[in-house]
Structure formats: C-alpha cells, structure tokens
Amino acid sequence: MFKGIAYSVLASVTFGVLYFYTQLLGALDSEQTFGWRIIATLPFLTLFMWFSGDLIHIKTILKRILAKPSLLLLLITTSLLTSAQLWLFLWGPMHGRGLQVSLGYFLLPLVLVLAGSFLYGEKLSKLQYLAVFLAVFGVGHEIWRLGTIAWETAFVALGYAAYFILRKKIQTDHLGGFWWDLFLILPIAIFFTQTGDTPYLKFVEHPSLGLVVLGLGLFSAIGLGSYILASRYLPLIIFGLLGYLEPVLLALASLVLGEKIGEGEWLTYIPIWLAVLVLVIEGALHLLKQRQRKQQLELNIKQYSKRLGDDEEIGSWINQLSWFFLL
C-alpha cells in the first residue's frame, strides 16, 4: 500500500505543477495544447513503462483485441473518457474556470469512495468516515450555495469515476490500458494541432515553445503514469480519499493565478481541506504503527535467536555430560 500512496502523492504534486505549467503555453489555444500534450506524452509514457516493467501490457491488450475485437469498442470508450478529462484540465485554467474544475476533483473522491463501498464492498476506517463527512459537508455546502453544479464539476466527478470503473471491469486498469487510451486518441490529437491560423508558425515565433511542449509531455507522463499505478496498487476507497490532495493543490494554484475564493465559498473549501488533514494524520498514524510493528518483529526475532542460542548451549552441555557418564 505504501507504494500506491507514494505514487498518488507524486501524481498530485505533478498535476499541481502542470496547472502552473499551462501558463507557459499561452501561444497555443486549449485544443492545440491538448493535441500536443497527447503527442508529447506518448513517447515519455512508453519510456516510463520501460523503466517500470509494464511494456508487456501493451502486447497483452493487443492479443486480447485480436482474440475479441469488441474489446476495441470499450477501449475507444475509455480513451474518449480520459481524453475529455485531459482536455478539460487544460481548458479550465485557460478560460478562468479553474475553480469549477478543481471542485470536480473535490467531488471525485466522494464518488470513488461510494463506488468502492457499494460496488466492491470496501470498508472505511473511523478517520476515513470523518474525512468523508467533512468532504460531504463541504461539497454539499457548495451545491446548496450555487443551487446547482457547474457542468465542469459534474463532468470531472462522474466522467473520471466512470473511467476507473470501466477500466476495472474490462481489466485494463494498468499502464498498458492507459497507453492504449492515448494511442487511440492520437488521430484526434493530431487534428487539434492543425487548428487555428498557421499553427506551426507559432513554434518559429516562439523558439522555446518546442521545449515547453516536451516538458509538458514529460510532466504528463510522470503524473498520469503515477496516477494509474496508484489506482492499481490501492483499494478504490483509499485511492479516492488520497485524491483530495490534488484538488487542494489545484485550488491553491488557481488562487495564485488570480482567481479568488468568495466569502460564501470558505465553508466549501475549509471542510475539504480539513478532510485532507485528517487523511494526512491517518497516514502518519498508519506509518507509525507499521514502524512499531517492524521494531517489535525485529525484537521478537532477536529474542528468539538469543533463546535458540541458549537452547543450543544447554544442548551442548547435556551432550558433554552424557559422554562423561558413558565414560
């Protein structure tokens, strides 16, 4: 589980960096940025998979498609679901809708927790129940305040949840499945790079833009690859609750970029930030207990080894006495 938590934290931090990073792509519109992101991410993701030993999954899925062609339709569905999310992630901060998108990421963990509980029978700890209560209060307040949910918020929360559930259902919940998601959307990504007037001239007008696009691909591969690996190593409930780290970072990034939290919105964000704090505390307690168990195990092994040594010494004395009496 520790490996899954580490991957989840790495993904959240990387996504927070990417939120700022999009400001360096001002020469491109959101569609062009999305297209170049997919194109630049795929080779870096392939390299990431080579390091993690997951390249075999690409070939495995290809064999499954050849054996059962209907799987390709489901893969196209997951590809469209994740691609729409990747586009919205870039579109939000470029159009002043970053907080609405980040609220969707606040709501997503709740949807994943409910899915994990009802669909897969996963259980919550007491602190996790507290975190869910705080998050429900925050999200519920926002829905009450607005009287509705922005389409960006609903799309992130429900779309991503459907994506993860479908991936589990068709058994492509690994990096190989995500690689195919990006590969299948590649034609649309290439089309998006051609939109606008003289799209390639922008790379001549802004010489550093090529390096920025490569950086976008590198950060995307690290963030998305880590995110997929975290979903693989963690139960859906834990994966969902850890997802609160990302929207906190996105909200902070939105504030730095000039967006503001209104007076009536604090009761939305404060409970959710407290929910994240509760999860951090639980994680720290879990690591502390794990360390204590490890120390106790080492102590038990040491005592057992000592006792075993004492038993061997007593056995040696008994053997010597036996020889003495035989003589």
310 assigned to some structural domain = no
Residue 300 counted as domain residue: no
Tokens of 89: 């992630």
In whole numbers, what is the pLDDT of the chain averaged over residues?
80
What residue numbers bound the domain in which 102 lies? Answer: 2-289
Count Cβ atoms below 10 Å from residue 277 Cβ, excluding itself: 14
Looking at the predicted structure, is the pLDDT value of residue 81 above 90?
yes
In a domain, 311, yes or no: no
88, 240, 297 from 157: Cα distances, Å: 12, 11, 42
Q: What is the pLDDT of residue 237?
A: 64
Residue 302 and residue 304: Cα distance in Å, rounded? Answer: 5
**Residue 278 near residue 269, CB atoms below 8 Å:** no
Is residue 180 in some structural domain?
yes
User: Which region holds residue 254: left if phi is over 0, alpha if psi is between -120 and 50, else beta?
Assistant: alpha
Q: Which two tokens stand for residue 78?
A: 């997951």
> What are the φ/ψ torsions at residue 197 (nearest 5 degrees)?
-85, 130
Distances (CA, A) of 10 to 156, 162, 172, 254, 255: 20, 23, 22, 20, 21
pLDDT (tens digit, 9 = 90+) per residue, 262-280?
777 788 878 877 887 887 7
pLDDT of 312: 56
Q: What tens digit of pLDDT does each residue of 133-176 get? A: 888 888 788 778 877 778 888 898 889 889 988 988 899 988 89
Distance CA 47, CA 266 (A): 42
Residue 319, Cα to own-chain centre: how many angstroms? 63
Q: What is the pLDDT of residue 188?
A: 92
In this prediction, residue 236 has a pLDDT band, given cuts at 50, 70 and 90, of low
Question: Is this structure's pTM higher than 0.75?
Answer: no
Give domain status of residue 181, yes or no. Answer: yes
Q: Select, from the ranges 64-73, 88-97, 162-171, 306-315, the one with the highest average predicted confidence (pLDDT).
A: 64-73
Kindly state the tokens that stand for 167.
Answer: 């991936």
Distance of CA 275 to the CA centre of its chain: 18
Using the CB atoms, write b or e for 193-203: b if 16+ within 10 Å: beeeeebeeee
* Tens-place pLDDT, residues 87-144: 887 788 777 777 778 778 777 777 877 787 777 776 777 887 888 888 888 878 877 8
- What is the spatial distance between Cα 54 and Cα 242, in angstroms, rounded to a whole number? 24
Q: pLDDT over 90 for what percent of the chain? A: 17
Which amino acid is present at 315? Answer: G
AA identity, residue 61? I
pLDDT recorded at residue 16: 75
Q: Specify the higher pLDDT residue, 128 or 60.
A: 60
| CA 68 – CA 90 distance, rounded (Å) | 35
Q: In 53-97, which residue ranges form alpha helices assigned H by DSSP?
A: 56-67, 71-94
Is-contact 133 141, C-beta < 8 A?
no
Q: Residue 314: inside a domain, yes or no?
A: no
Q: How confident is the model at residue 318 (pLDDT cuts 50, 70, 90)?
A: low
* Length of the chain in terms of residues written: 327
Please indicate, yes or no, if residue 224 is contained in any of the structural domains. yes
325 has pLDDT over 50: no
The pLDDT value given to residue 3: 75
Is 322 contained in some domain?
no
Q: Work out how many domains the chain is built from and give that number.
A: 1
Tokens of 317: 């004395």
